[in-house]
Amino acid sequence: MRPESFAFLQTYLNNPSPTGFEKEGQKLWLEYIKPYIDEYFVDTYGTVVGVINPKAKYKVVIEAHADEISYFVNYITKEGYLYLRRNGGSDPLVAPSKRVNIFGEKGIVKAVFGWPAIHVRKVEQDKAPTIETVFLDCGASSADEVAEMGVHVGSVVTFEDEFTVLNEKFYVGRALDNRVGGFMIAEVARMLKENKKKLPFGLYIVNAVQEEIGLRGAEMVAHRINPDVAIVTDVTHDSQSPMYEKKTAGDISCGKGPVITYGPAVQNNLRDLIIDTARKSDIAFQRASATRATGTDTDAFAYSGSGVASALISLPLKYMHTTVETVHRDDVDNVTRLIYETLLRIEDGHDFRYFV
């Protein structure tokens, strides 16, 4: 990875972009991608779309989502402790002893997830932390002091953890799900520009909001763009670490390449084009199967309008929805390259129908 790209990845991942409050991260992403696109637009809820060849009739989307899991302040006790609601799939099990940022009216307020010491608990009766039992301590001794700090019910909370590199091979941090996807599609746009590739269709590079609460940003922007094709990238579970059951989770490994999904929402001919591209480009890949839905923005695009030929290229990731989400650097490069190479094989007016 070139140094400039790595610097952007680090800055982009460290910037908080909780679901529904993605603005600052979206502004960073847009500034990075601007040199590589012809125009852009931002929709009402903050999805950002960079466009190449905007006048073309045939439209292809490459997409990732920008938001990260977080919490909302839900209740403030008279002693100044804060109880929360989840914003997306936040896991209270990983919360105790973590540092957080609360986005208050006067700026960021630092806080911690407190937890009773082992000395005072009946350990044999311990239960896993839940959203009802975890709480924040922002150093205040009363609800009035919390209010003076600018924190109120509805304030958004994100973990403080930042990007690191593990063993020179793994990228680690919070919110790799799925801002690393936004990074990869931005890199595709850069590669097209710097390699002087002229596409015969309109390319819409979509960084969507609000995926973590039900694919909402993708639903909205799919109707606006009305694309013919959508290639979505998101993360999927590496199943090699302890406590995974491969019979249900599949056999997916970080470092062994992009994951190509089979499922009803995935258009078979587009998926097969991606597989053929991987083989011809000498990109190792893995396979996964979905049930009724992929659980990603692929579903929102596939079933929008009169139906959009859609496919999912996933990045293997360890420890999803924790503060130490982990991906292999080679997989990041290869997902990017696979999307890029696939775009070069899509034709103007490409007909993906199964038969005519």
Write out the binding residues for Zn(2+): 65, 177, 212, 234, 321
Task: Yes or no: say if 160 and 113 are a contact pair by the CB < 8 Å rule.
Answer: no
DSSP assignment, residue 347? P
* C-alpha–C-alpha distance, residues 345 and 356, integer Å: 21
b (16+ CB within 10 A) / e for 46-60 = bbbbbbbbeeeebbb
Concerning whether 211 is annotated as a catalytic residue, the answer is yes
Structure tokens at 66: 């920008």
CB-CB neighbours of 194 under 10 Å: 10
Strands (E), 123-265: 135-137, 156-159, 164-166, 170-173, 202-208, 229-237, 259-262
Catalytic residue selected from 63, 211, 219, 325 = 211
Q: Exposed (0-12), middle (13-18) or buried (19+): which is 178, by Cβ within 10 Å?
A: buried
Structure tokens at 250: 């599949």
Closest CA to 338 of 236, 239, 260, 263: 260
* C-alpha–C-alpha distance, residues 178 and 210, integer Å: 11
Task: Summarize the annotated binding site as residue ranges.
Answer: 65, 177, 212, 234, 321
Q: Which amino acid is at 10?
A: Q
The residue behind tokens 């990109």 is 283
58 CB-near residues (< 8 Å, 6+ apart): 200, 201, 202, 228, 348, 349, 350
Helix axes 329-343, 176-194, angle to 10 degrees: 50
Task: Yes or no: say if 151 and 35 are a contact pair by the CB < 8 Å rule.
Answer: no
The helix (run of H) or strand (run of E) holding residue 348 is none
Catalytic residue positions? 211
